[in-house]
Structure 1
Amino acid sequence: MSSTPETPASSTPLQPEDLTGFFRRAERPDRRSHKIGTEHEKFGVVVADGEYRPVEYEAHVLAVMQGFMARFGWKPGGERGNDGALISLERDGASITLEPGGQFELSGKPLADVHLTCQEFTQHQRELHAVSQELGIAWLGSGFHPFATREEIHWMPKPRYAVMRAYLPTRGQRGLDMMLRTCTVQANFDYASEQQAGLRFRLAMGVSALTTALFANSPYKEGEDRGFASLRSDNWTDVDAARCGLLPWAFEAPFSYQRYVDWALDVPMFFIRRQGRYIPLHVPFRQYMATGYVDPDGVRHAPTQGDWELHLSTLFPEIRLKPYLEVRGCDSVRQNILCALPALWKGLLYDDDAGEAAWELVSDLDFGERLTLWAECRQAGLASPRVRALCARLLTIARAGLDRADIRDHRGRTEAFFLDPLEALVAAGTSPADVARAQLGPRPGRDVAARRAFVRAFHFAGAGLEET
């Protein structure tokens, strides 16, 4: 949910051809130029005072961001928050942004291979650890906050979140939990043409449930195991059905940019942005396109290219089409398997033979069966024999794709070696959630001792690393 700074497109009048043109302009016909961008979110916990409580902006998150600037050359990003608050950083094509509850997100630079991606995230972990350890802050890789209540988590000073905070509860029961208590790891991939975008979109939508199971890492809510391997994934089923989930038409041929546009046009908007101010607007974009909008002050607003780009960024299907293909179905995890996410998806999406083989795993399912598989993946994870068997085959296919790419590190390993920890989980029939359960039990609780145990189980960086 990273904010989008205003650009020249923000005020350029929107023409009908711009709707699909946004995607056409992003095509990269030379497949050798296709890159990988990875995003990772984590929860901050204050451990210095011994209370193990969620971070606040002024006292903690701002200090971390200032440390990144002072020590590692990061610069303020293009958008400011309420009263000029620092809410993003930039460096060499990468960015750091804040999710609504202070979740700290690195959006990595588009890179040529997973070896480089993993180097980038290793550097990020080291920088985050160096800054946060001195401040007594720990960061957790988990899909759902394991112990904090919604009321304990502090809102970040980003204007768009105020609009979403008011609107999402009118669309579903768990929108605020999504904003405050979920974290993910995502990856972004290029496409050469409309046809290729469609094939990759369908494939990714088809197997995304299996990746949810492989990375399922959120069994706990408010100190108790709630019976799901991925509570984060389950949470998304009750946020806003119009903009979330699996899209039935993604599995119907033929794909076109226009089909994605037609779907997006019928989704109600969150807002438009003018001079840094977010103006609530909750009609379908199609209606706004036809009539414009007169705000409460009597100012008339006509649709702009920036409005369309902003609207597209507020759609949350499991696979999202932007100037790249964004895979969104996985829980945040610790460093030991983080790099497996971009590796797995690269092996499937950037090798045609692998893509065809992976699609065959799920091609015969009707849409109801796809929903059933998705539910099984988020609840049972790799403990389900069916899911485990499908994931084993998926990893074999992805490994072959990565080996065929034959991009090696200084030790002679292809990118396929990043899949090793996932293959170990599949062999054991345990998602990351089950590893945490074995360590913590079903009801760790919410007292100080339990919170300390949660930090040890889900630790990503910062204070407390020596205890893990």
Structure 2
Amino acid sequence: MSNPGESNTAPIENKAQLIDVLAKGCKPQEAWRIGTEHEKFGFRLPERARGDLKPFAPPAYEPEGVEALLTALEGPDWQAIRDNGHIIGLKGAGAHKGRSISLEPAGQFELSGAPVRTLQETEQEMIAHFQQISGPARELGLGFAPLGFQPLWPRDAMPWMPKSRYAIMRRYMPKVGRRGLDMMTRTCTVQVNLDFSSEADMARKMRVSLALQPLITALMANSPFAEGKPTGRLSNRAYIWLDTDNQRSGQPTPFFEEGFGFERYVDWALDVPMYFVNRDGHNLDVAGCSFRKWLAGEQQEPLMGLRPTLGDFEDHLTTLFPDVRLKQFLEMRGADAGNPSMMIAQSAFWVGLFYDPDVLAEVEQLVKEQPWLQYQSLAELVVEKAMDAPFLGGLRPLAKRVLELSERGLKARNYGEEYYLAPLYEIADGAKTQAERWLEQYYGAWREDVRPIFQAADISL
């Protein structure tokens, strides 16, 4: 989830301004870039545990926790982002310009990568980030594991970060779904952000990527445990999202309809209830209020006397959680966090499909072989069985067809990126998902003890 930034204070006069917020994302193909974001769970190294600092426990904000780590990383190239005086993120400068580090609600550590041209640059950025946090993390007795769902600790054992928007969401989430607080505190994801050239190009990519999100969820499944036990689901993270807040998440039907474009996304966004507005550097709780009614001048108690600005709308866009989110780029949001090669593979998957126009046309025809409803229902089925979920013709054959198209798209880019798809090809060919490999360890060498997963997955070694 994004860090706070400077808001556009221009008043909203008409809907065209809101459409233009999205349309400004259109770029010529030569300017298309790749932005990868990934989250990971911090945990207390057992050899450094003592007193209240329990082995494998998620680090609190303080003491000897997330605040100390952010402070240790702060410097000329990483400038502090603060919320009510608390350091809650870092903005990159110099060699790290375009990157940021942010905190999810329970301290999940997120790198939002800079827009880069190639997947090799994505890989270098990821390795550099892991190396950067490794030393300070070890000094604090912390490790970091990218897993889709917290495998050991219950929700009430998870800490809360002092980020004001999270306090608003914490109060509001239980009103709109049963698992919203679990989404906030116990999930981690990896996503890739990709560009579009026009409204029509955006719409095609939106429909294709929404249809294929369940496939990438299955390929990337990496969350089979909760509270120390197998859940019977291979992507517990995806299960959590099925009952978080269905007004703002999932696969909204209007996105699949012909004629979908910037205006329809704006219309959908205006009908999603708000969380907050920022005034004078403070987030005001307006959760549940209607942005559409606010624009129409209808009186809503928390918004009395406030005029909507473009910055308010831009902030509102960051609080929408469909499987594919539109801002001035498209965010693919359907994958569990996983090991580094898998997280880069997820970026490669989408880059190959979307950054060659001929491949995009072919994959668009491929997904049209099934009605959109099939893909929407598949989102629930892959939660439990991942690649073994029932699908006409089988998910593995579908994965192979899609991966072959992605590979062709990557080869057309001529950067030598296609080898990043190898981990996904292995799973499509019958290899176990990450989740199934963890389960194999759990019932084997770990003797039904989930705790070894933290150090087995640790990227800060």
Mapped partners of 1:292, 1:12: distance in 2: 16
Which residue, out of 12, 28, 31, partners 2:29?
31
Q: Among 348, 364, 380, which residue is 1:375 paired with?
A: 380
1:193 maps to what in 2?
198
Structure 1 residues 176 and 18: CA distance shift in structure 2, 3 A = same
SS state at 2:87 partner? coil
Q: Which residue of 2 aligns with 1:87?
A: 88
The 2-side partners of 1:406 and 1:209 are apart by 28
Secondary structure, aligned partner of 2:459: strand
Alignment correspondent of 2:432: 430
Q: Does 1:420 pair with 2:422?
A: yes
Give runs of aligned pairs for residues 160-175 of structure 1, distance below 5 A.
Answer: 160-175=165-180
Shift of 1:11: 5.0
Work out whether 1:75 is the aligned partner of 2:74: no
Question: 1:292·1:300 contact (CA, 8 Å) conserved in 2?
Answer: no
Aligned to 1:353: 358
The alpha-carbon deviation at position 445 of structure 1 amounts to 9.4
- The aligned counterpart of 1:286 is 292
Map 1:39-58 → 2, pairs under 5 A: 39-47=37-45, 48-49=48-49, 51-58=55-62
Q: Give the whole-Å Cα distance in 2 for the aligned partners of 1:120 and 1:14.
A: 41
Q: Select the residue among 194, 206, 215 that pairs with 2:211.
A: 206
Letter of the structure 1 residue corresponding to residue 290 of structure 2: P
> In structure 2, what residue type is equivalent to 1:387?
L
| SS, match of residue 75 in structure 1 | strand
Q: Please list the CA deviations of residues 11-55 of structure 1 after superposition, one character each: whole Å capped at 9, or x if unmatched.
A: 544532111010112211x21110011100000001121622111
Is the contact made by 1:184 and 1:328 (CA closer than 8 Å) also made in structure 2? yes
Q: 1:227 Cα deviation (Å)?
A: 1.3
More helix by share: 1
Aligned residues of 1:14 and 1:303 also touching (Cα < 8 A): no
Letter paired with 1:246:
Q
Q: Aligned pair in 2 of structure 1 residues 256, 154: CA closer, same or farther (>3 Å)?
A: same
Moved more, 179-188 or 382-391: 382-391
What RMSD, in angstroms, separates the aligned Cα atoms of the two structures? 2.0
Contact 2:399 2:428 in 1 (8 A): yes
Preserved CA contact (<8 Å) 1:318 1:327: yes
TM-score, normalised to structure 1's length?
0.91
Query: Is residue 2:256 matched to residue 1:239?
Result: no
**Superposed counterparts of 1:369-408, under 5 Å:** 369-384=374-389, 386-407=394-415
Answer yes or no: is 1:2 the counterpart of 2:9: no
Q: Secondary structure of the residue that 1:58 maps to in structure 2?
A: coil
Question: Which amino acid is the alignment partner of residue 401 of structure 2?
Answer: R
Cα 1:226/1:361, change in 2 over 3 Å: farther
* 1:251 Cα offset (Å): 1.9
Are the counterparts in 2 of residues 383 and 431 from structure 1 also a CA contact under 8 Å? no
The residue identity in structure 2 corresponding to 1:426 is A
Take 1:122 and 1:383, find their aligned partners in 2: how far apart are those partners? 32
Deviations 1:85-136 (A, max 9, x none): 0011011110000000000000000011111111101100111222212221
**Hey, what's the Cα distance between the residues in 1 that align with 2:40 and 2:328?**
25
Aligned to 1:303: 308
For 1:256-275, what aligned pairs fall within 5 Å after superposition? 256-275=261-280
Cross-structure match for 2:14: 15
Unpaired segments ≥5 residues, structure 1? 408-413
Partners of 1:253 and 1:209 in 2: CA distance: 21
Q: Tell me, what secondary structure is at the counterpart of 2:331?
A: strand
What secondary structure does 1:418 align onto?
helix
Aligned length: 446
Does 2:138 align with 1:133? yes
Partner of 1:106: helix, strand, or coil?
strand
Give TM-score, length-normalised by structure 2: 0.92
Q: Which amino acid aligns with 1:456?
A: Q
Q: How many Å separate the matches in 2 of 1:346 and 1:41?
A: 20
2-structure distance, mates of 1:283, 1:442: 51
1:153–1:180 CA contact under 8 A, matched in 2: yes
- The 3-state SS of whatever aligns with 2:334 is strand
The 1-side partners of 2:296 and 2:14 are apart by: 11
Query: Partner letter of residue 4 of structure 1?
Result: P
Separation in structure 2 between the aligned mates of residue 450 and residue 208 of structure 1, nearest angstrom: 28
Q: CA deviation at 1:68?
A: 1.4
